Amino acid sequence: MYLSYYVLNLSEIVLTIHNYWMTLPVPVTFDPHELSNCLYIFPEYGVRVQSHEKFSHKKRAICTKAVPFILDKYVNYDIGACNGDSLPAFQWKKRRYWQMKTVLVLGLLVLFFVAPNAALCETPSLVTADEVMVKIKLGLPAEYDNVIIKGNLTSDQLGLTAKEILRIPFEVEMPTDEPMAANSSIVIKNSTIDGLVDFNNTVFHKQVSFENTFFVENASFRHSLFNGEVSFAKCVFNKTGDFTGSQFKGKASFLQTCFGGIASFVSTQFGSIADFSLATFCSVASFKDAKFSGPVGFMETRFCNCAEFVLGQYAADATFDRTYFAGDANFSGSTFSQVAKFNGTQFKNETSFEGAHFTGSAQFLKPVFNNTIKFNSAQFDKATCFTQARFAGPAYFTSAKFNDLVEFMECDFLGSSTFNQSDFRIDAVFNNASFHGPSDFLGANFMGFADFGGSQFAHDTDFCNASFLGAADFSRSTFNKKINFHGAQFKKNVNFESVRVNTINLTKARYEWLFLHWDSVDHLEFDDAAYQTLINNYKRLKWLKDSYYCHSTYTSESSSKAARNHSWIINAVESIILGNRPLGKSS
């Protein structure tokens, strides 16, 4: 009773030592190879926790939950050497080692000594798995708190009588692979199951709850049906947790659950609320072809390895706010029918939303993409927001379709950005964005207002053959290298007020009103038609000064080009004449 409360409110317990932890002068890291005889491993933190053999299962379960919380909440961990360190590497390593030990010791001591003895020191009762299975078979409530269940829990036994279950494995032949029914409620909390859990192909007609339970061995619920509410909140799956092909008719809670091994939810169906908030997936997590009929939450969830959400279907709101993806994240072909939120989400490795369909609004406020991100052929039907997104690697939006307002305001594109052949059917806002690498809008279609005001383009920018059906604003922008509008079409006004352009290509570009002062351009790539069109544009605007200087530059460059051409002809003739001279004669 008290255990769950104190684990859940660990932040209140450790608040008294918060100030100490916050004053650590350097990022804390920990070498897992410096400890031996370790029981618990936290690969997402690079930390192992040493525990004594006489620890009760209760205390072991607490360790598995307390350590990640302490590290997440109070330790600014950063594996590797610090930039600008003045101390030798081995001294930093030693310093971090003792700081980490101090943090772990303080956290665990506070938890163990402040919590009441009833919560931590009470010896759990030992229950056999056969006893649990007999209750389930007889339809009696299987309710246990603070116990160790020894043995295997398997759905095969539900096809037997109670007496037969107790005689397994000596006298009874196991039934065939037909669906088994569990007619009783199952409530096992604050406990440890020391054995295999195999409820494959089982129908659970009533409530199923394993809150705060430690699964020592593999736990499998493949192709099972849960008709009532299900809770695996705060559980620890030490090995594989398999829910492939299962159906959850009621609410399914995996709040603060830790999956130490592979977690499989392939083709799983969630009929109501699905909550994976604050969960930790230490190994591969697969939600391929999963269907969520109700709201689903992965808020502040940690994926420490690959996360696969290919072909997922989200009928209601899907929330991934502040989620951490340490490995590859794949949402290719997924469908989001309502609001999709990825606010403050971190993607450390390659990420793909290729072919994804966002029927509802898509929110990517302040996400961090540290590697390649692909939205190729993705479709956004409602308002889409990428405000203050950080793209540290290449960003691909090739052939993406934005059917409503899309905002890339104040985004940082540190690598290349590709929007070629993309459709922006309403307004496209790239206000105050920074493009540090090459940016490609080749053949893009801007059907509404295109706002690039105040943006910075540090590398080449390509709008070749792009189409602007609405007004386009590039005011206050800076183009440090070349901007290419070859073949671009502007149906309405184009604003380049207060810009700085290094080189611009307007060859075959078509426009009526181009508000670009001549003194804002360092160089216009030479083309007779491009110069004549720009000069005529200045005359329409009655910018006489700009028209004069543009014409002067055009005349000068024309003369230089003609001289170069004449020089080439003269040199060619001289080469021919000199090459036909009789041998032995010199100049």
In a domain, 578, yes or no: no
Instruction: In whole angstroms, give the CA distance from residue 403 to residue 401.
Output: 6
* pLDDT computed for residue 119 by the predictor: 46
Q: What percentage of the chain exceeds 70 in pLDDT?
A: 71
In this structure, is residue 271 part of a structural domain? no
| Model pLDDT, residue 180 | 83
| Residue 411 in tokens | 């985004």
For residue 476, what pLDDT is reported? 96
pLDDT at 155 (0 to 100): 82
Task: Find the range with the poorest average confidence among 15-29, 98-112, 255-269.
Answer: 15-29
Q: Within 10 A of 273 (CB to CB), how many other CB atoms are there? A: 18
**Is residue 124's pLDDT more than 50?**
yes
pLDDT at 414 over 60: yes
Whether the per-residue pLDDT at 41 is higher than 50: the answer is no
Residue-wise pLDDT for 280-302, tens only, equals 999 999 999 999 999 999 999 99
Check residue 243 and report its DSSP letter: -
Confidence of residue 138 (pLDDT cuts 50, 70, 90): confident
Is the pLDDT at 11 greater than 50, yes or no? no
Q: Does 59 map to a domain?
A: yes
Contacts 24+ apart (CB under 8 A), 31-36: 31/93, 31/97, 34/97
pLDDT band at residue 84, thresholds of 50, 70 and 90? very low
pLDDT of residue 161: 46
Which has more confidence, 510 or 29?
A: 510
**Residue 108 and residue 85: Cα distance in Å, rounded?**
30
What is residue 156's predicted lDDT score, i.e. its pLDDT?
76
Lowest-confidence region among 363-377, 389-403, 540-554, 566-580: 566-580
- Average pLDDT score over residue span 129-157: 90
Give CA separation, 135 vs 71, 165, 357, in Å: 41, 11, 47
- Using an 8 Å Cβ cutoff, are 317 and 293 in contact? no
Tell me if 385 is assigned to some domain.
no
Residue 89 has pLDDT above 70, yes or no: no
- Residue-level pLDDT at 90: 54
pTM for this predicted structure? 0.76
Specify the range with the lowest mean pLDDT, choosing from 26-35, 251-260, 311-320, 460-469: 26-35
Residue-level pLDDT at 34: 34
How many Cβ atoms sit within 10 Å of the Cβ of residue 540? 11
- How high is the mean pLDDT of the chain? 81
Mean pLDDT of 80-109: 52
Range of the domain at 114: 2-120
Gap between the Cα atoms of 512 and 489, Å rounded? 10
pLDDT in tens, 520-535: 999 999 999 999 999 9
Residue 451 forms part of a structural domain: no
Asked if the structure places residue 32 within a domain, the reply is yes
Beta bridge partners, 86, equal none
Q: Which residue has the higher pLDDT, 520 or 75?
A: 520
Number of domains into which the chain is organized: 1
Residue 248's closest CA among 216, 186, 288, 202?
A: 202
Any domain includes 269: no
> 47 in a domain, yes or no?
yes
